[in-house]
Chain A
Amino acid sequence: MDLVLQIIISGLLLGGIYALISIGLNIIFGVIKIVNLAHGDFLMMAMYAAFFLFTLKGIDPFVGVFIIFPAFVLLGVFIFRVMIKPLLGTAETEVNTIIATAGLGFVLQNLALMLWKSDIRAMETSMTGQSYEFFGIMLSSGRTWAFIVCLIVALLLYYVLMYTKIGTHIRAVSQDTDAATLMGINVDKIYTLTFAIGIGLVGVAGAIIAPTYNMYPTIGLYFNTMAFIIVVLGGLGSFTGALIGGLIIGLVEAFAGVLASAELAQVFSLLIFLVILFIRPEGIMGKGARV
């Protein structure tokens, strides 16, 4: 019984991390309707940023977040202006944004390879290897804090989207671009802002998970697949869906990881993903067909 509970709790914590990683991807798809295949590679860059802030300047990743978030927001603005915006609004937008962001992923991975070599790096913060005991259940402290940050980010984002003027604009653009334009909303500005926030949030996720994962230039590929599975599971563009999707995958991986092997755990998540894709492409929480 204890083992089952332990697996459930670990699964939920893992799910929280996955949800945090997927939020940025989700918001970009929900509003701009483009798939950012370089998502995992932005995450990788943020992990390295947190690593170097810690090893060179002694800044803990949980503090470093406040440097990495604004930096990644600016990076997002730059990427959107230079690369994404010229591709929008044509018949090939869908295919070309996927290809271009995949190309961007290539650029980021190889930039990391050039700058930092393919060595596997890990950082030792005060949290490494630590865990809390809670009624006989062990909680990895890095993951627990990542989970808490995920909740905070989720609540903040929910507040911004639902209760602020800019949030209302973002939601309006995501529902109907033309109507939003007629209402005097500057769609271009909202797109830039959304992309920037999305990239900023990946930055946060990368910094937070840096102490608990080893990093190497192609680690983004692993998280990329995971993030996409979660986002589609929950419903592309659905925010609560990302949280639920993250928790489901976290649980599946935790159980399958104990009962079978790591590779089979991933195969299980992928199969669940494919089935959901066929029977309910709008996702568990998605409202109606979005295709």
Chain B
Amino acid sequence: MKPDKTPLILGILAVALALVYFLPLQIYVRHILILTLLYAFLGTGWNLMCGYAGRLSLGHSAFVAVGAYTSLLLFANFGITPWIGMLAGGVFAVIVMLLIAYPSFRFGVKGPYFTLGSIALAEIVHNLLIYFREYTGGSLGMSLPYQPTSLALFQFDGKEPYYIIILVFWLAAVFLTWKMERTRYYLEAIREDDDAAAALGISVNKNLIIAACISAFLVAIGGTFYVQYYRYIDPYSIAGFTLSLNIALVVVIGGSGTILGPTIGSFLIIPITEILRMSLGASMPGLHLFLYGILLILCIIFLPKGITSIPGIMRAKKAKKDNQLNQGAEGVL
């Protein structure tokens, strides 16, 4: 077995991204980097459940929303620091995930049925947020009460601290995925063939539920980060279908069920979307998302297994070519 190069690649990547912190970047570039890392983080969380379990969730915005609203409500009403609110939101998201994941794994809800169920979950959260408008502000959304820069309250005036925080979050999530894939949760085996894994005595359901809960926890933390960074949330942006779809897309385009797929996907998609938005958004509303949709369809058609599959495809092509050469040589002999 060849040695796993993942920690090395991860280390280099993390150091490189940490060095970026010291570059004199424009605010706007820094914003794109933060957003990219946020999506890489959310995607990594999504991937832990969906990429490995082969179940496509298009409702993960439900957990983002649970995380964001929990920490925001705790802070706005009781003055509890978002750092604790973040953990509370994570726990709350895990409970919501258990409510849906346990029955769906137990009853073997798979394929499109699982996807539709996940969409329904996000819709329920979305509708409830609007319904409880006395507390959540309904469709109008909620703002984060402003505080001057304070690490204890997770609020900063500049963008730099947010960059470091999301970088740490992202690194932790990717490292966790690597650990879970390699060790006792057998995610790799489950991804390849869950029936075979079950036959080998791996408790597929238990491991999947654990992965699902960690996934919900991470994504909810992303929700808290979102509200601390943007300082404003509303049900459409944070519990809407578009966010769910974007999280899934980043992973599918990058390569689902791989450790760095979500990160690669995010670094490709998010800057493109943001640059399209900046250059075209004002002159013609909708054009940038129109182009984005087309780009996405093209990606899916031409790279159905995501960007991380490119080296594999190249190797296969080379092997085929070598094979043909060898056969040719045999023919001559």
Contact = CB atoms under 8 A, between A and B. Distances in A.
Interface of A: 29, 35, 37, 83, 86-87, 90, 92, 94-96, 98-100, 102-107, 109-114, 117-118, 217, 221, 225, 228-229, 232, 236, 261, 263-264, 266-267, 270-271, 273-274, 277-279, 281, 291
B293 A225 contact: no
A107 B293 contact: yes
A99 to B, nearest CB: 5
B130 interface: yes
Chain B's interface size range is 35 or more
Interface stretch (B161-169, B195-203, B296-304): B296-304
B84 interface: no
A228 B116 contact: yes
Contact of A267 (B131, B241, B287): B131
Leading 7 A-B pairs by shortest Cβ distance: A113-B286, A106-B293, A107-B293, A110-B286, A103-B296, A110-B290, A263-B131
A95 B56 contact: yes
Interface string B92-128: 0000000010011001111111011101110110011
B123 A106 contact: no
A20 B262 CA distance: 39
Nearest to A282: B113
Contacts of A111: 286, 290
26 contacts: A35-B116, A92-B304, A92-B305, A94-B112, A98-B56, A99-B56, A99-B300, A100-B300, A103-B249, A103-B294, A104-B297, A106-B293, A106-B296, A110-B290, A114-B286, A217-B286, A228-B119, A236-B113, A263-B127, A263-B128, A264-B127, A271-B124, A278-B103, A278-B104, A281-B113, A291-B110
Nearest to B104: A278
Nearest to B129: A263
Q: Interface of chain A, helix or strand or loop or mixed?
A: helix
Interface string B303-329: 011000000000000000000000000
B289 interface: yes
A243 B166 CA distance: 49
